Amino acid sequence: MIGVLPESLEVGGKCYKINSDYRVILNLFEVLQSGELSDLEKAYITVKSVYIDEIPDKLFFDAVKKAYWFCDGGDMPKSEPAKVKLIDYKHDEGIMFPAVNKAAGCEIRAVPYLHWWTFLGYFGEIGEGLFSTVLNIRHKRAEGKKLEKWERDFLRKHKEMIIIHTDEERKAIEETEEFLKTIT
C-alpha cells in the first residue's frame, strides 16, 4: 500500500513485528561493520535486532532476507555500491545528525520514535553543507578523482573528520597515543 511504513515483515506467510526505529538500524549497522563477525553471525544479529517477535528456526534465512530488504530501504531504487566505505555512522555522527536535522526541520534525536525509512528519506534530502562536503571528498578520493584546491585544503585541515579508519587502524592509533602518554 502506498505511503505505509512497515512495522512488521511477512516471513513464511506470517507477519512478524519489527523494531523499525532508526536508532535500532544505525546501532545494527555499527555492529555489522565489525570485521570480526562471520556472515552467519551477522545474519543472526540482524534477525535478533530487527524482529521483536521470535522467528522459528526453519524461517531464519527468509527472515534474514526480509530484514536486509527492510534495512536497505525496501523497494527504494538502489545505487551502485561504493568501492570503499564512504559513511561510518559512528565516526560521522557529529556531522550527520545536523544535516539530517536540517532536512527534517527538527532535532530527530529528541523524537521518541522515527521510522527507519523516514530517516532514510531525510538522509536522502541532505543538501549542501559540511556532511555533503565530507562525503563528496571521500567519494572523489575513492574514485581517484582530482580534488579542487579548496577540497585539498579542507582535507588537510579536517583529515580526522574525512578519513575513516578501519578497526585495526583505530586500535593502532589508540595504542600509539597511549604509548606516547607514557613517555611524555
Q: Average pLDDT in the 172-181 region?
A: 68
- Whole-number pLDDT of residue 1: 57
Q: How many angstroms separate the CA atoms of 37 and 14, rounded? A: 29
For the chain, the C-alpha Rg in angstroms (whole number) is 19
Q: Where are the domains of the chain?
A: 8-71, 93-183
Tell me the CB-side half-sphere exposure of residue 50, using CA atoms within 13 A. Answer: 29
Q: Average pLDDT in the 23-37 region?
A: 87
Query: How do residues 58-114 score in pLDDT, each as one tens digit?
Result: 999 999 999 999 999 987 666 666 667 788 888 899 999 999 999 999 999 999 999
Query: Could you tell me which residue, 21 or 143, shows the higher pLDDT?
Result: 21
Query: Cell 536535522, residue?
Result: 101
Pure H helices in 33-127: 39-50, 60-71, 93-104, 116-124
Record the pTM.
0.83
For a pLDDT cut of 90, what percent of the chain falls above it?
66
